[in-house]
Structures are given as structure tokens and as C-alpha cells.
Amino acid sequence: MKKVFLVLMIVMFWFKVSAQKDPTLALTPPMGWNSWNIYACDINEQLVREVADAMVKRGLKDAGYEYVVIDDCWHGERDSLGFITADPVKFPSGIKALADYVHSLGLKFGIYSDAGWTTCGGRPGSRGYEFQDAMKYAEWGVDYLKYDWCATDNLSAHGAYETMLHALAKTGRPILFSMCEWGQNKPWEWAKDIGHMWRTTGDIYDNFYGEWNHGTWSSWGILNILDMQDGLREFAGPGHWNDPDMMEVGNDLTVNESRAHFSMWCMIAAPLIAGTDIQHATNATIEILTNAEAIAINQDKLGIQGFKHSKTDSVEVWYKPLANEEWAVCFLNRDSISKTIDYNWVETLVVDDFSNRKTNFAKTAYSLRDVWTHTDLGNTKKPLKTKVPGHDVLMLHLKPIKE
């Protein structure tokens, strides 16, 4: 009996250890593209190939975007053994051929499934087939799995996502695990050792501020989603990120709104997953998505999520601690009309207990770099006097001046 008990303990220990998520992935917020926001179910292999080509040609790959993720509606039926297949009309060459093509461009390939019986689009979900699906993903060369939460009945979110983690770990392939249960079960409190990123809210939509009521659920505008991140920063960091959903940059937003949207996702260390038509996006949209100075703030190695420091009228001031004692500062104008900024640095004290960082501008001076105009704006010894257009930002990179 003792021997049997010992064997069981060893098996259970091995199973638990082998189910660890890959610790080498997502050390900075993941960057990539997802098909859902712009194409929904209207996807096919030729379209995905063309998007991957465009990511290379239009500079997104060089800017750091690496994952090409097909969302819902790629699924066909399960075969006689229960293994999932691709829709033969939309993906006649199969998923492996598509993944191989994406890899040939120096990019990584991502796919979508659901913890329930069906996906949100009514395709076969992974419930009861987690290990078979994970095996198939690894066989195809998948690098990223977005795992949704439709048709889950009374499943435990913790248990369902941990089951898929076990399945992914058993494949031996590094697969980034993107959890998408819309924040309903507060995954930030328990998912650090399960997923590399987890959705914190319901779906985003291309409106700067507003609610799109679908009856039993709602989609939310950019600022609504941003407001829902309050209180979550302590749960994020290298290898485990709060995910406020894919970006709507370039999708029925003004240039100002797209710039503000992108800036705030950078400030809160969010995964930068583009959801626009990369092939036909305007040059202005591409310039926003590929702004190296803004991306550097998002990808800062400390991995600390920014926070709202203060608010005057409609203008919020956000701070994000960066490596080398640097800071990012963003003035977000939530109003539709321009606002005047008169910010006296030397009267401002910034204290962040979470990161154990603070700065007194009266004692330490910093240089000011405008991330969007790529110009230097002097330093913090003098007040900052400028205007921020409606639904826009002034985003600055501050570096301490060595006396």
C-alpha cells in the first residue's frame, strides 16, 4: 500500500511540475495582430497570408509585432478520432501550411479556441478535447493560443484554464497562453501561474467612449476599457499581463483617438495586439502602430503598469516607471475640445508604493522627450505650457539629468 501511495504521489508531482507555463515567453507585453476586430468570421488562408506579408512590408515586424493570430471561425469538424480539422473551404491547405508560411516570414503563428462546447462563433470548442487539441496545435506549429469562454455552462474558470495549461505543457512546444474569459472570474487574482495574459474586461469596440449593448452583454469604448483597469496594476508583470483587449487603432477612430488609444495601451503595459486592416490601413495608422518611442515605453524591461496620478478638468496625468530611473508621463485629454496644460513640475511629487519608486522634481531634473513629435521639450526645471487637442495625448519620456 505504501508503494502504491508513493507511486501516486510521484505521478501527481510529475503532472503538476510538467504543467508549468513556459517561463521564457511574454517577458514583455506580447505584440502581434488578431483577425477578429476587423474581419470577425470572414477569414481564410489567403487573407491571413496577405496580412502576414503586409506586416513585413509595412514595418510592423521590424517594430516588434511577431504574432499573427487567427481568431474564431477557422474550425472545421472533428475527425473520427476526435481531432479538430480546419474549415476545408476557408483553409483548404490546412493550418500547418499556413503556420509554415507565417514562420517563413520570421513571424509566429497563433490560433483560437474556446473552453466550452462551442466557440463564440458556433464552431467546435475544446471542452473534453483539450489534450487532443493541444497536440494538434503543436503538430501544426502553433506559437500562441487565445482561449475564449463561450458555452462554458457551469465550468470553473480556474479549472478549465488550468486543464488547457496542462495540455499545452504536455506538448513540449512553447505556446503563449492568452486567456479570454472577459474578467468575469477575476483571473488577475489566480492566473499568474496559468496564463501569460488574461482579459480583464468584456470586448472592446471602435468608439472612444461608449457602450454597445448587445442585449445580454456589452462591448465597451476605449476610455471605458481604460477605466476598468483601475486597481489591477499590481497583478501584472513580466510573463503575466493584464489584457484590456485588442487595439482598435485605425478602426473608425480619428487619428487623435487612435494615438491616444495606442499611448494608453503603452502606458498600462498592455499586450499590443493590432486589430486593423494592415493591408489597407492609412499611413497615419501605420505610423501610430510602429512608433518606436511609444513601443519602447510599452516594452520597458521593468514591466510595470502605469497609473493615473492626477486629474484637472478633463485632463488626466499618468505616470509609468521605467528602467534606469526614467519615467513615462502621459497627459490624456478625455474631452473633445483642446485643453491648455500648465504643469509645474517642481511642485509635483510622484510616489508609487507598488514599484517603490518616487521622484521629487524640485530635487531632480529630467529632460523631456515628446514621443509623438520626436522632439525635445526642454526639462522639468520650467513649467510645461502647451495644449493637448481633443481626444488626444501629450506623451513624454523623462530621463534624469546628470549634474
In DSSP notation, 105-172 reads: TT-EEEEEEESSSB-TTSSB--TT-HHHHHHHHHHHT--EEEEE-TT-TT--HHHHHHHHHHHHHHHT
Instruction: State the DSSP string of 333-350.
Output: E-SSS-EEEEE-GGG-EE
Same fold, 27-298 and 307-400: no
Q: Over the stretch 194-253, which tens digit does the pLDDT of each residue have?
A: 999 999 999 999 999 999 999 999 999 999 999 999 999 999 999 999 999 999 999 999
Q: Per the residue annotation, which of 71, 114, 203, 352 is the catalytic one?
A: 203
Q: Name the grid cell of 254.
A: 480619428
Strand segments, DSSP code E, in 232-346 are 241-243, 272-274, 307-312, 315-321, 327-333, 339-343
The dihedrals phi and psi of 2, each to the nearest 5 degrees, come to -65, -40
pLDDT surpassing 50 at residue 134: yes
pLDDT surpassing 70 at residue 9: no
CATH topology of domain 307-400: Immunoglobulin-like (2.60.40)
The DSSP symbol for 73 reads S
Question: Angle 152-198-226 (CA atoms, 0-180°, nearest 5)?
Answer: 115
pLDDT surpassing 50 at residue 1: no
List the chain domain ranges: 27-298, 307-400
Rg (CA), the chain: 22
Q: Over the stretch 360-387, which tens digit does the pLDDT of each residue have?
A: 999 999 999 999 999 999 999 999 999 9
Q: Per the residue annotation, which of 114, 143, 148, 300 is the catalytic one?
A: 148
CA distance 99 to 49: 9
Question: CATH classification of 27-298, choosing from 3.40.50.150, 1.10.220.10, 3.40.190.10, 3.20.20.70?
Answer: 3.20.20.70
| pLDDT band with cut points at 50, 70 and 90 for residue 19 | confident
Mean per-residue pLDDT for 15-43? 89
Q: What is the pLDDT of residue 12?
A: 39
Whether residue 245 lies in the annotated active site: no
Q: Of all helices (H) and strands (E), which one includes residue 224? A: helix 222-227
Contact status, residue 194 vs residue 165, Cβ threshold 8 Å: yes
pLDDT surpassing 60 at residue 14: no
CA distance 298 to 272: 8
Q: Which residue would you say has higher pLDDT here, 1 or 7?
A: 1
Mean pLDDT of the chain: 95
First to last CA, the chain: 73
Q: Over the stretch 257-298, which tens digit does the pLDDT of each residue have?
A: 999 999 999 999 999 999 999 999 999 999 999 999 999 999
pLDDT surpassing 80 at residue 2: no
| pLDDT band with cut points at 50, 70 and 90 for residue 402 | confident
Q: Which of 352, 306, 295, 304 is nearest to 329 (CA)?
A: 306
Whether residue 203 lies in the annotated active site: yes
Q: Over the stretch 72-88, which tens digit does the pLDDT of each residue have?
A: 999 999 999 999 999 99
State percent of the chain over pLDDT 90: 94
